[in-house]
């Protein structure tokens, strides 16, 4: 049966989806937007997460498998004009596929459990692109969970979702816990908590990473505050062998997480 194309950017349906670009509405509606074929495809792998799918005619032709999977899962599929998609999308060049998804975060105690071997904690991280990249890296390194503390960016921010490249739907993500509460839970579960910071007296080369480890990563500009550094079992810096002043957050996180993952797999 042919679908009627949505062309009115002021329709209640479009306005309801568009407002999810704002955090206050995401928290109120318990929903967010996932844009692009990779994010939508991964979201559809979790039953019941995708509430609605918007697709342009061109994108439907290019990604018929995704649209078919959505329809097969009982997800309402709305054909959208280019103007409507531009209104909904948060990118300069929309890819023509956008899903309204239910929030997928889990409570801290459910995300971090005894037996976990690798966890990433984002404390005071404000840049959504960096945060999403760290989430993607944690997923690739085989982390058991990612924790966004209460002072960090919303993982359902559109840029963060895109930067995660679907990893948001792959592993448990806890949000909103104070850093001290997150660290307490990690230690309860037998994890050694390491803070990645340029102020560390020991470097990554000097630290034993063979046991269950949680890494805390801080703000892009000023790192981790002293009160957070004091919570960690140890403060560790990534060695700089060349003349660069430092590494950016996402790169430093990749180095640390992969160092732990490699060491744990060599045991």
Q: Phi, psi (5° rounding) for residue 149?
A: -75, 170
Q: CATH classification of 12-102 is 3.30.1330.30, yes or no?
A: yes
- 202-260 pLDDT per residue, tens: 999 999 999 999 999 998 778 888 999 999 999 999 998 998 888 889 999 999 999 99
Question: Domain ranges in the chain?
Answer: 12-102, 108-266
Of 228, 188, 211, 194, nearest to 120 (Cα)? 194
Q: Phi, psi (5° rounding) for residue 80?
A: -120, 140
CB contact at 8 A, 83 and 9: yes
- 239-254 pLDDT per residue, tens: 989 988 888 899 999 9
What is d(CA 105, CA 65) in angstroms, rounded to the nearest whole number?
A: 27
**What is the pTM for the complete model shown?**
0.92
- 98-149 pLDDT per residue, tens: 999 999 989 999 999 999 999 999 999 999 999 999 999 999 999 999 999 9
- Rg of the chain (C-alpha set): 20
Topology given in CATH for the domain delimited by 108-266: Alpha/beta knot (3.40.1280)
CA distance to 26, 73, 118, 190, 251, per residue, from 182 (Å): 23, 36, 14, 13, 23
What is d(CA 10, CA 174) in angstroms, rounded to the nearest whole number?
A: 34
């Amino acid at each position: 049966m042919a679908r009627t194309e949505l062309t009115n950017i002021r329709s209640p349906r479009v306005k309801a989806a568009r407002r999810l670009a704002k955090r206050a509405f995401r928290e109120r509606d318990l929903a967010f937007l996932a844009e692009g074929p990779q994010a939508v495809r991964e979201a559809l792998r979790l039953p019941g997460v995708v509430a609605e799918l918007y697709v342009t005619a061109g994108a439907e032709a290019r990604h018929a498998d995704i649209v078919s999977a959505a329809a097969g899962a009982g997800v309402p599929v709305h054909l959208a004009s280019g103007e409507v998609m531009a209104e909904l999308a948060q990118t300069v060049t929309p890819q023509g596929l956008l899903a309204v998804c239910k929030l997928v975060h889990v409570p801290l105690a459910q995300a971090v459990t005894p037996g976990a071997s690798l966890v990433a904690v984002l404390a005071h991280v404000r840049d959504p692109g960096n945060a999403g990249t760290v989430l993607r890296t944690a997923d690739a390194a085989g982390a058991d969970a990612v924790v966004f503390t209460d002072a960090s960016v919303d993982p359902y921010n559109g840029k963060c979702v895109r930067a995660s490249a679907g990893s948001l739907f792959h592993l448990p993500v806890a949000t909103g816990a104070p850093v001290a509460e997150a660290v307490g839970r990690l230690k309860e579960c037998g994890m050694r908590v390491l803070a990645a910071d340029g102020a560390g007296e020991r470097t990554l080369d000097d630290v034993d990473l063979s046991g269950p480890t949680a890494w805390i990563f801080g703000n892009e500009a000023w790192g981790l505050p002293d009160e957070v550094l004091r919570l960690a079992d140890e403060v560790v810096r990534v060695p700089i062998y060349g003349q660069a002043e430092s590494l950016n957050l996402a790169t430093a996180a990749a180095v640390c997480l992969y160092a732990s993952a490699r060491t744990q797999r060599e045991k």
